[in-house]
Each structure stands twice: as C-alpha cells, then as structure tokens.
A and B are shown apart, each in its own frame.
Chain A
Amino acid sequence: MRRFWYLASLARKSAWNRRGTLALVVLCIALSTLLLLGIERIRGQIRENFVQAVSGVDLVAGARGGSIQLMLYAVFHLGGATNNMGWESAQRIAAHRDVAWTIPLSLGDSHKGYPVVATSPDFFGRYRFRADRRIEFTAGRAFDALFDVVVGAEVARKLGYRPGSPLVLSHGNSETLLAEHADKPFVVSGVLAPTGTPVDRALYISLAAMEAIHLDWQGGAPVPGFRVRADQVRKFDLTPKSITALLVGLKSRSRVFALQREIGGWKEEALMGVMPGVAMDQLWRMLDTGERALLLISALVTLTGLAGLASAILAGLGERRRELAILRSAGARPLDILFLLACEGVMLVFAGIVAGLLGLVLLLLGIGPMLAERYGIVLYFSWPGREECLLLGSIVAAGFLTSLIPAWRAYRISLSDGLTLST
C-alpha cells in the first residue's frame, strides 16, 4: 500500500515537473468536461424553468399559427408576437360548458424592457406555477382603478417601485420617448412576491387599461390630430377587441381533446388550442437535435483531449527511460512502472475534470444573471445529478483506459530495457 502511495506521489511530481507541456492537455479535458456537463445542466435547468413557469392550464387558445410560438410569447413573453384572437371568440370559449375558468392575456407594450401584460383580475387568483403555488402580493393589491398597474418582484426590485409609484408604459418594445404613453401615467397598486417565473419580470394591467391607452393609436403610432385625454377615456367603450391568448382551465381534463378539436374547427375565426405539455415537448424535440449535435461535439473534444493526453505522456517517455531504469534498479517491478504511468494519466484527467467543474461554476455565475435578466431563466446551484455523475464517470473511465496506452508502452520499455540503456 505504502508503495502505491509512493508511486502516486512520484506520478504527481513528474506531472508537475512537466506542467508546461501537460497544461494544454488538462485544459482540453477541462473544456470537454465543461461542455459536456454545461450542456447537460443548462438544458435541464432551462427545461425545469419552463415546466415550472405555468401549471394547471389545460389549453392555451390563440390565433392559428405556430403552437410553440404562441406558448413562448403568451406564457414566457419570448420571441415574436403572434396574431391576435377576437374577444368574441374568447368569450365564446369562456362560456363553453366544459370550461371552468379562463384568463385572457394581451401583450404588446413594455416598460423599460419588461413586458406589460393586460389580463383580468382573475389572473392573480387563478395562475399556478411550480405544481400548485399561487401568486402572492408582498405589498398592495390587484389593479382596481383603470390606471393601476401590478409589478412583478424583479421589476419592483430593479426599478425600486412600491405601491403608489407612478410609471409610464411604452408602446411596443421600443423605449423611445415618441412611443411612450406619457399622457396616461399609471400608478403601482401592488407588488408580487418572487416566483422564479416570467411573472417576476412582467407588469400587469387590466384589459380596459390596455384598451384605454390605445384609443388614440393606430398600428404603431398615435393617430395624427386625435387625442384622448386620460380623464376622457371612460366615455369610450373599453371592452377589448382582441387579445393575444386565452389560458383555459377545464372542469374535466378528459375533455381537452374534444375542446381542442372544437376550437380548431370554428368557421368564424381561425383559432387553435395548444396543450402546454405537448407544445413544450415539441420545443424540446426541436432543441434536442441541436443539443445532440453539441453533445457530439463535446464528446469529440473529450476524445481530442484524451488523445492529447496519451500522446503527451507517450512523447515524454523517450526522455524518461533513464528514470524508469533507475526505478527498476531500485527494485520497482514492471507492473509498478505501469501503475506509475497510469496514475499520472488518471491524475491529469482528474485535474482536467476539477478545472472543468470550476470553470462551469464560474460560467454559470457569469451567465446566470444574464439569462435571468434577458429571459427570466433562473439558474440555481445543485450538486451533480445521476446523469452528470455518469458523464463524469465515463470521462474518468475513458481517461483511465487512455492512460493505459502510455503505461503499457512504459511497461514494455522497462521490460526490454531492464538496466541496460543505450544512451
């Protein structure tokens, strides 16, 4: 046992002695570890983020089009805008005998880069995330007056809003002054508790308010020569004409296919009903191809790293024949030499993996805030799971097998060289 510790310490010192040459190999292995684990981890966490963002919704109804696009836009406020669906159709769905509840969503405006969602007050009571958690207020309450706005936790934190704070919405995603609804300022009525979902990054107003601020707008610009002051809007009919999507909860989940078919078949308007789980699956399947390509590339990087490892150690063997003969003369067996070299290889693989894991942590710390900022995707720390341990294990196993190549060569050398060594 003591002998093996000694040989291991020799391997360590030898590797350290040649650290200049071996650093590249370690770097390569670190990179491949980072890629393999990073892809696995980010994929898993993004998926979890998406899955946990909304629950209990049986169908998302909207204008006919791409189902993934509708999901991404309506629920996650990502990607390009979809066509709107008529308010009549939304009401028709809400009145359907199988439907328990509906939440209308109308998007399009923004505030300092955060999306503004017009919805019904039901939203706060109905919306569920992370299996069965509901939305809570840390301060204030739901919108009540026409120009009330409820802000998500992150919006409140970043922009310092409290109930009573005034704010102005922008038209569309632009932040130019021209496109501001400056004539109709809002007042914060409530602040939501953090949820770890896109809710944190959104502002919520009533559908009527959304209608009100667009009374004097046509398309992307104010209608020239036509102004409706904030105190005049109540004279108009503020019933929405259209919305982006309708979240639908059923009395019985078994009716979901029937309702989906029914909505899809309506003559009056080209609509569709999307089952969130199915749309998500489609999204993952689309991404899977890309992920698999990335995984393949990472596997190739790993192979390159291991090949580099083997060749770096092999290349060093020539000048180490002396050293091996010295060890042999002092009583080392050829198998000891095999162990020494294999040990060196495995140590390098371990060093690479540790460096890769460190790099991964730094990377996640680095891009985590960016992901949260831009996409509302929250990365969190967790110990490597079963899959990741399997990946790590296979890197170590592959590294061990690769190390056996130079080790076997050294074994042969020390057998044939013995103590006589042509210099």
Chain B
Amino acid sequence: MLVAGGVLPETLLPEIRRWKVSCRVPPLGDCFRVMSITSSSADFAVALRDIRFSWPGQARPVLDIAELLIRPGERVFLSGPSGGGKSTLLGLIAGILLPERGSVTVGGTALHTLGAPARDRFRGAEIGFIFQQFNLVPYLSMIENVLIPCHLSPRRRARALQRADTLQEAAAHLLARLDLAPALWQRPVRRLSVGQQQRVAAARALIGAPPLLIADEPSSALDADSRDVFLKLLLGECALAGASLLFVSHDAALAGAFPTALRLDDLNAAPREETP
C-alpha cells in the first residue's frame, strides 16, 4: 500500500482528487490516500484526516472519516441523509467539537491542537456560518444582524473596514448585492420572508471576508424558486470573494449547481444506525 511517496506528478493531483471527491472511482482511494499524505494539510482550506467522533453516551461513532480535503476557493456540496452526521461534521470543522482522534486543519490552522477559546476566536475570524432557518437574532435590525461577527471578531471587523469606510456601509453593500433593497432594512427581521432571512444570514457569513463559508442546509426551508435565487447569489458571492464554501444538504438534487459534490456516506466509514 505504501507507494514511494509522491510518485505522481503534481499536475495530476487535482484530477485525482476530483475523482476521490466525487467518489466515482473507489479503487483509486488507496492510491490517493498515499498521495495526499505527501501534500501538507496547510495547503487546503479544510483538511480532515483520520477523524473519529462519537457523541457522549453513544457507543457507536457518528463519524469515521479517513480524509476530507477542500482546496482554497473550492465550492463543495456535501449530501447525506438526515441524522447521518452532517451537522456533526460541520461542528468539527467549525471548531465547536473536537474529534476523538485525527486532525482538523482549517486554513492551515490545526484546530485539534487549540484550546476552546482559541477555536472560538478562530471560528469568529475565519469562518462564516449559515444555518437552516431562524438564522437571525429577532431583536436586532437587519444591519445589526449582519454585523454580529464584526463585533465579536476584531479581524472580521478589520477586513470589513478595508473595503468600506464604516461597518454600516460594508453591511449595506453586501445586503444590496444579495438583492435586499434598502426599503427592507428597517423592517423587523421577523417580518421578512424565509428567503430574505436566509440572504441576510448569507450577508452575515460573508461580511469581513472569511476564507471559509459553511452552510448547514441553508436552503431546506426555501421553496424551489427562492432556493435557486439563494444558491445563485451565494455561489456568486463566494466566487467573487474567493472563499471556499462547504454546503451541506440532505437534498442531493442540488448537487448540480456546485463544481464539486460529495456524499457523506462515501466518506464516512462509521456504520449507519439501523432503523428499527
């Protein structure tokens, strides 16, 4: 199994990884694993290796992943059934959860070696997060919702101010780009449609240009039309910002919109829970 390290030429790497990533060629997996060891985790936006995670009190691990790699700027779709451990995986990448073993490297930072406060600080600075729904703090205005990361992370704030004179301006700029007209900005966020709410959440994830965006089923509560609008805007903004995107959904039909699509079941060696 141990082929002499790095025999394949560098130029072939992306191609092979694409195979691995889309899991169309399982036999090549072993070969690929050897290859990737030779390239440093620091070169990737996200690099998980030999991850195992189980929730406290559960005998069976939820996740057992040999490797997951996302290149800088890559936009990845990850599908999997409900309860399959997608959100758990995102918790690991966001530094909320720690794996029992293995390494989690995000943007060159080895999260599993950091303490909890440092991981929280890292998440605030480097990761934008979008949830499935109820993404907004009800007592804050639209702009205030967008600016939350800027108040909790000095780096997000600094990067947001590189592109705009004030934070307000930075938020307004993003909201406008996400098709949210200024007329809506004063409206209580509860009275926005779900599609509008998700676009505000996207603006919050994008502000201060974090290198990685994580979206946990962000479109599952949307109807088909607003879902398509949302996907288009989100992908466009990520491309523009050069940010990597990890987009998770149980709805495999969305995969077509992404350059890269993965299935959690293919990555995850942990046995699925039998349904009684």
Contacts and interface: CB of A to CB of B under 8 A. Distances in A.
A14 B96 contact: no
Contacts of B132: 423
Interface stretch (B21-29, B32-40, B113-121): B113-121
A133 interface: no
A330 B152 contact: yes
B204 interface: yes
A13 B151 contact: no
A330 B140 contact: no
A331 B120 contact: yes
Given A17-B139, A323-B137, A423-B134, A331 B91 contact: no
Contacts, number: 78
B195 interface: no
Contact of B152 (A3, A13, A322, A423): A3
B contact residues, range: 20 to 34
A105 interface: no
Interface string A321-356: 011011111111111100000000000000000000
Contact of B139 (A2, A13, A335, A419): A13
A contact residues, range: 20 to 34
A6 interface: yes
B124 A330 contact: yes
B87 interface: yes
Contact of A323 (B97, B133, B138, B152): B138
Which of B90, B134, B149, B204 lies at the interface centre, i.e. has the most chain A CB atoms within 10 A of its CB?
Answer: B134
Nearest to B141: A13
Nearest to B94: A419
Contacts of B153: 330-331
A419 B96 contact: yes
A333 to B, nearest CB: 4
Contact of A419 (B91, B125, B151): B91
B245 to A, nearest CB: 15
A323 to B, nearest CB: 5
Contact of B88 (A330, A420, A421): A420
Contact of B91 (A17, A332, A418): A418
B185 interface: no
Given A17-B138, A330-B124, A330-B129, A419 B152 contact: no
B170 to A, nearest CB: 15
Interface in B3-45: none
A334 B97 CA distance: 13
Contacts of A322: 131, 134
B116 A329 contact: no
B123 interface: yes
Contacts of B123: 329, 331
Contacts of A420: 87-88, 90-91
Interface in A1-39: 2-3, 6, 10, 13-14, 16-17
Nearest to A420: B87
B134 A331 contact: no
B249 to A, nearest CB: 15
A6 B137 contact: no
Contacts of B204: 330
Interface in B203-261: 204, 216
B205 to A, nearest CB: 9
B135 interface: yes
B125 A331 contact: yes
Contacts of A3: 151-152
A210 B106 CA distance: 101
Which of A3, A326, A331 lies at the interface centre, i.e. has the most chain B CB atoms within 10 A of its CB?
Answer: A331
A228 B102 CA distance: 117
Contacts of A333: 116-117, 120-121
B148 interface: yes
Given A14-B139, A333-B116, A419-B96, A325 B148 contact: no
A330 B149 contact: yes
Contacts of B124: 330-332
Nearest to A332: B152
B96 A326 contact: no
A6 B131 contact: no
Contacts of B149: 330-331
Interface of B: 87-88, 90-91, 94, 96-97, 116-117, 120-121, 123-125, 129, 131-140, 148-149, 151-154, 156, 204, 216
27 contacts: A3-B151, A6-B151, A6-B152, A17-B138, A17-B139, A322-B134, A323-B138, A326-B136, A329-B94, A330-B124, A330-B129, A330-B148, A330-B153, A330-B204, A331-B124, A331-B156, A332-B120, A333-B117, A333-B121, A334-B116, A336-B152, A418-B96, A419-B87, A419-B94, A419-B96, A419-B129, A419-B131
Interface of A: 2-3, 6, 10, 13-14, 16-17, 322-323, 325-336, 418-421, 423
Closest 7 CB pairs of A and B: A331-B124, A17-B139, A329-B129, A418-B96, A6-B151, A331-B152, A420-B87
